[in-house]
Structure 1
Amino acid sequence: MGTPAVLAIDQGTTNSKAVLVDAGGAVLATQSAPVALATPRPGWAEQGADDLWQSVLQAVSSCLAAAGPVTIAGIALSTQRESVVGWNRAGEAVGPVIGWQDVRTSSWCSQLPAELDSLVRSRTGLRVDAMFSAPKLHWLLEHAAADRVGTVDSWLVHRLTGCREHLTEAGNASRTLLYDVLDLDWSTALLAGFDVPRSVLPEVRASNAGFGSTAGVPGLPDGIPIVAVLADSHAAMYGQGCTEAGMVKATYGTGSSVMTPVDGFVADGCTLAWLTDKPLYALEGNIVSSGAALAWTAAMLGLPDVGALTDLAASVPDPGGVTLVPAFAGLGAPHWDRNARAALTGMSSSTTRAHIARACVEAVAHQICDIVDTIPAAPERLRADGGATVSGLLMQTQADLLGRPVEAADVAEISALGAAELAWRTLGEATGWAGRRTARVFEPAVDADVRAIRRTRWSEAVAAARTH
């Protein structure tokens, strides 16, 4: 018998991560495996469903090998959200994973009736946009012989349970545009509006309701319960301890998510964060390109990675008047303009590669500010997590542009830890370690006038990108 641990699987856009967490929140081992992202046409983003599953198996195998003796008490899942998968009755994928950032359905979405968008907003808190699952599911059902469809959490549950279960978690379902977050069920009217039959969709369960048990998974014993499931951004909010109105977190990934809990459902920008004994709703703004913008700029400047980009950016005190608007697939919240185009403005003969790098770092922070500025009650501070938070320059820039302290999580596995804590609570362990970890704190270091000038320059660049 080894140390009791929850195996948290965090399946994201670019990698799958496995983390073993004990009941006190200590990370016993962590390993990751990459997942390739293909862009076969402009605006398309795909992953192999089997490749995604194999990356999970690889991460789990490596994690277990790196750990000491453990007894797996349960499995927790944290998954990318709006991406969709289709498979047949034999459990075989019948097409690619269509990624959340895929915009192949933008034109189709623009032709949908305004009445459907109004219904979507009133029953889901979201809006009709190619980022969400329903348009992708419609496309997938037209182009592949799928008997079952779902988001990534349902695909992983299906494979982990030996293809026995077809289940999804309420928070993930809330991102599809098909789930009524007030009635807590698939909406007949929304299903009809997007032409998605209920028969192909999974059963929706509460976040801690149990999702079957392992069967036939290489490297894992049969019978391990899948205790808890959360969407990745929601899991990060849980892991940050953001459970009350007025608390705000930002997750910096390929895109970014800014979330703040609210006391009840509101019809614009609201999402279901999780469902346990009762639903917790949150206002959320989604940014399409943040980590992706850093990676693109690094490649464009001939740099080996994002770390080299931020090092180069730190070599100059400011962007030298340069502004980058990374609208490579349009703009997400709060603009929601898929017709916007990326723009690099303000260059002169004295502009250097370092200025462009610095402008990219600022672009990531500016986009977060745009969303925080829409929150009705201005937060006192921002809790930050995700891979890009390792950059002290980005976190300091965020504090400077926001005019508020930024608390960056001290661990990279915050989404996995959030899912693991929910699992331990469900297993009867009163953990209480979410949001109580030490954090790096970045205080604003520029005055209000400087901040206003930089924010105004950004707003003007965004306006130009939207009127190309």
Structure 2
Amino acid sequence: MPIRTVPVPTADALKTAEPDTKIQHVEHVNAPANVEHHEHLPKGISETVEEKKTRWFIGSIDCGTTSSRFLIFDGEGTPIASHQIEFENIYPESGWHEHDPQELVNSVEECIEEATARFLEKGYKKDTIKAIGITNQRETTICWDTNTGEPLYNAIVWPDTRTTSLVRELKNRKGANELLELCGLPLSTYPSSVKLLWLYSNVEVVKKAYDEGRLSFGTVDTWLIYKLNGGKEAGIHVTDTTNASRTMFMNIHTLQYDDKLLDFFRLDRKNITLPKIVPSSDKKAFGALTNGALKGVKITGCLGDQSAALVGQCGFSPGQAKNTYGTGCFLLYNVGEKPVISKYGLLATVAYDFGQGRKPIYALEGSIAVAGSGVKFLMNNMGFIKHSSKITELAETVKDNGGVVFVTAFSGLFAPYWIDDAKGTLFGITAHTQRGHIARATLEATCYQTKAILDAMEKDSGHKLEGLAVDGGMSNSNLCMQTQADIIGIPVDRPVMRETTALGAAIAAGFAVDIWREFDELKEINKEDRTIFKPQIDKAKSDKMFKKWEQAVEMSKGWVLQNSDDE
């Protein structure tokens, strides 16, 4: 098929690489433009394609690691209006990563106001926005005073590694070897549980609040829903199953808090208020906005960001997978109605749970701590580029990586390695090495780790993936996506509209208010003009490249332990 120009993503999309049109191994797949007529649309909501684009809309709050945004989608999954605000990422010490909890709320509220203003300027009416969904960074941990509703400390963000020594201690605690089977997560610096324990042990006001029974805990979804509903006055303290599955407090099989897990972490429910666990799509549980331009509009959907991206990619069937290249990189593989406890270093997680009699769907997940943040490291710390979108241009100044391998273990290595004592390490530097070689090695690091995850998923599931749907900032780079296809040896499938995380939250919200009732009704959403990157190198060459990567991973181990006295 002839190559067509790749459309530029929406202006508010997080950009870490510009689309380039030099890669020649790309096909475009055109899906039918119209969605079929469906019988089960609710009363008052249009049934024709054209009316679905103008008669009703869904808002979506997307609070990520570096920015918040609010998008308003039409019935075809097209963003009509949006606004994005970057907020401060705080790094008080090496390995520490924090957010100001109130700034998260303020940024979301401002995005809602600005996007709604643009929506109204285009001639649409506010009452056509039928519901709002929320998607969020997941393991990030926030504690607040139940009596005042005010945060007690900064949010500890998901890649934070201050808990490394604590995790080593927990691994030696009785019952540690039973956790994975119960909650699907291995002990690491990643989940919310260890962040909460650190706060209790090191922040006096948090300890005092716990001891006095007035400590409230939540991930970002819980905090935003609590504050958007008016805080302590409304007292809406909830989370959905996808976010709860990232805490290590929820039993992955029962989808309820588990006393054995709480006892392991020595938490007494009398001393801490945990959010109520509800399905990801619910008409009443998440409340409604109490202020601003959309005051009164119900929040009816909530998904952790990686689950939302799988939903936004319409990965509703077992065997379907997506990879999101954001600040980190997250690969989810739909395994159906029963969780698969990994034997090869992956996480078991809830993919989505739309309630109303539907069974929850599970996924295997592989998490990579550093993806787009590696590009930002080259920009902010090393001064290689002036904007992250220039990474592809720099990488193309050389024909290959020149023998350079970059293990981007800034926060240790996540799945499937789980090496807490690794540090970021560059190998293969010679007098010949240029900035372009390091740029290529940075992009390739994410691609290699993705292959390691896919290999583990194949072992756990017994099935080889036939294709990989992709989204997120780094997926904008044709060079990166072609490299990914070459390394994993299967096609990489990229949509034109890359706001799949926000779209997934909108879909969850839409199911709660009967905008959609069956997954088949979504089969054509975001399917037009997808770009397919096919592998262009032979398996022997790909295997040789990956073997060099694995050698580098082995050599990156042990830095934290060896130098612990200096940190």
RCO higher in 1 or 2 (8 Å CA, sep ≥ 6)? 2
Partner of 1:306: 388
> Which residue of structure 2 lines up, in the alignment, with residue 178 of structure 1?
249
- The alpha carbon displacement at 1:114 in A equals 5.2
Check whether the contact 2:368–2:446 (CA below 8 A) recurs between aligned residues.
Answer: no
**Pairing partner for 1:448 from 536, 539, 564:** 539
Q: Is the 8 A contact 1:233 1:415 kept in 2?
A: yes
d(CA) in 2 for partners of 1:245 and 1:409?
20
Tell me how far apart the structure 2 counterparts of residues 130 and 169 of structure 1 sit (CA, whole Å): 22
- Which range moved further: 91-100 or 436-445? 436-445
Counterparts of 1:215 and 1:82 in 2: how far apart (Å)? 24
Aligned: 1:387 with 2:473 = yes
Post-superposition offset of 1:412? 2.7
Letter in 2 for 1:18: F
Give 1:25-424 correspondences, 5 Å limit. 25-67=77-119, 68=122, 69-70=124-125, 71=127, 72-88=129-145, 89-112=147-170, 113=172, 115-142=174-201, 143=203, 144=206, 145=209, 147-163=215-231, 164=234, 165-198=236-269, 199-210=272-283, 211-221=285-295, 223-263=296-336, 264-268=338-342, 269-276=347-354, 277-299=358-380, 300-376=382-458, 377-424=463-510
C-alpha displacement of 1:378: 1.2
State whether residues 322 and 359 of structure 1, in contact with CA within 8 Å, keep that contact through their aligned partners in structure 2.
yes
Separation in structure 2 between the aligned mates of residue 217 and residue 92 of structure 1, nearest angstrom: 18
Distance 1:17 1:119 in 2: 39
Q: Which segments of 5 or more consecutive residues in structure 2 lack a partner in the other structure?
A: 1-43, 45-53, 560-567
Letter in 1 for 2:368: I
CA positional deviation for 1:129: 1.0
1:125-148 Cα shifts (integer Å, max 9, x gaps): 111111100011122344223621
Cα deviation code 1:119-171 (max 9, x no counterpart): 22011111111110001112234422362110000001101111120111111
Partner of 1:122, secondary structure, is helix
Structure 1: 5+ residue stretches without partners: none
Distance 1:138 1:217 in 2: 34
**What do the CA deviations read for 1:268-326 (whole angstroms, capped 9, x no partner)?**
22111122221111000111111111111233143112222221001212101111000
Counterpart amino acid of 1:153? D
Q: Is the 2:282–2:509 contact (alpha carbons within 8 Å) kept by the matching residues of 1?
A: no
Q: Structure 1-normalised TM-score?
A: 0.96
Report SS of the residue matched to 1:186.
coil
**RMSD across aligned positions (CA):** 1.7
Q: Which runs of 4+ in 1 moved over 3 A?
A: 113-116, 433-438
Partner in structure 2 of residue 429 of structure 1: 515
- Between the aligned partners of 2:475 and 2:376, the Cα distance in structure 1 is 14
Question: Per the alignment, do residues 435 and 247 of structure 1 end up closer, same or farther by CA in structure 2, a change over 3 Å counting?
Answer: farther
Distance 1:241 1:216, change over 3 A: closer
- 1:423 Cα shift? 1.5
Q: What TM-score results when the alignment is normalised by the length of structure 2?
A: 0.80
Superimposed CA distance per residue, residues 308-358 of structure 1 (whole angstroms, 9 cap, x where no aligned partner): 222100121210111100011110011000101211111111111111111
State the alpha-carbon separation in 2 of the partners of residues 116 and 81 from structure 1: 25
**Alignment partner, residue 3 of structure 2:** none
Cα deviation digits, residues 355-389 of structure 1 (max 9, x gap): 11111111111111111111121101111111111
SS of aligned partner of 1:320: coil
Q: Shift of residue 447 of structure 1?
A: 1.7
**How far 1:15 moved relative to its partner?**
0.5
1:120, 1:439 → 2: CA distance? 40
Residues 301, 353 of structure 1: 8 Å contact kept: no
Q: Size of the alignment, in residue pairs?
A: 467
- Alpha carbons 1:23, 1:424 under 8 Å: kept: no
Per the TM alignment, residue 25 of structure 1 is displaced from its structure 2 partner at its CA by 1.7
- The amino acid of 1:444's aligned partner reads P
Letter in 2 for 1:369: K
Q: Distance in 1 between the 2:75 and 2:292 partners?
A: 25
Please say if residues 496 and 526 of structure 2, whose CA atoms lie closer than 8 Å, have aligned partners that are also in contact. no
- For residue 374 of structure 1, what is the amino acid of its counterpart? A
Tell me the distance in 1 between the aligned counterparts of 2:189 and 2:244: 16
2:556 is paired with a residue whose SS is: helix
CA shift, 1:445, in A, is: 1.4
Deviation at residue 451 of structure 1 after TM alignment: 1.1
Question: Larger Cα Rg: Structure 1 or Structure 2?
Answer: 2
Does the CA-based 8 Å contact 2:77-2:526 persist in structure 1? Answer: no
